[in-house]
Amino acid sequence: MSINYFWPTPIYVCDFDSNIDYFNNIQNEISTFVEMNKNSLTKAWPHDNMLSNFIRHGNKPENCLEKMTNLLIYIRKHVSQFTGLHHSRLNIYESWINFGKQYSYQSIHNHSPADISGVYYYMTNCLDGNIVFNCESTGLKTSKWINVNSQIPISPKNGKLILFPSYLEHFVEMNETDSERISLSFNLMVT
């Protein structure tokens, strides 16, 4: 006799695992991109107090990762480890910068129809709002006998990379601190 747990949901969490020079190169790459594009910011979510802002050129959102070679290589390496797929099969088709000022938050959503989504934390004080993943099983959420945490919070940290299936619902808690959190989010399709 055995108890089997089927249909697990993988969430990949990685603190920066390379040398400090490589980390600094990536951080400088993001800093340069943000400074060069601050004037192109538009609010992505027209309601509530949402934190996502796209850098746009005309009507088209900028695919930020196309401009950040070191970060793109780093992300592809980890997505390959997460999925077991060669990076040539992973197409990053959109990416954007999130600016989480005080009292900003992100309501519950998912990134379907993408296959894999992720977030890289560029600048955080680690107390400015967790990303929280919701259990996708309605049955597990409402069960009176299976003791399952239906929400999994993950704290931000400079250099932390989180990867997850795009269908997974998540939200970002309100930033109740007076410092801005900046992260980079992206969606991938498997070819």
* Residue 167: predicted pLDDT: 94
State pLDDT tens for residues 55-93. 655 555 668 888 899 999 999 999 999 999 998 899 988
Looking at residue 142, its pLDDT comes to 67
CA distances from 63 to 5, 11, 102, 125, 135 (A): 38, 23, 26, 26, 29
Query: What distance in Å separates the CA atoms of residue 15 and residue 160, rounded to the nearest whole number?
Result: 4
Amino acid 83: pLDDT: 94
The fold of 12-190 is Jelly Rolls (2.60.120)
Sign of CA dihedral 93, 99, 100, 103: negative
Question: E strand or H helix at 78, and its extent?
Answer: helix 69-83
pLDDT mean for each 10 residues of the chain (191 residues): 76 87 94 83 56 56 85 94 91 87 89 95 96 79 67 95 95 94 93 89
pLDDT at 34: 87
Which residues, other chains included, contact 34 with Cβ-Cβ below 8 Å and sequence gap of 6+? 97, 182
- Say if residues 66 and 150 touch (Cβ distance below 8 Å): no
Domain boundaries, the chain: 12-190
Residue 1: the pLDDT is 78
Q: What is the pLDDT of residue 13?
A: 95
So what's the pLDDT on residue 43?
Answer: 60
The pTM assigned to this predicted structure is 0.89
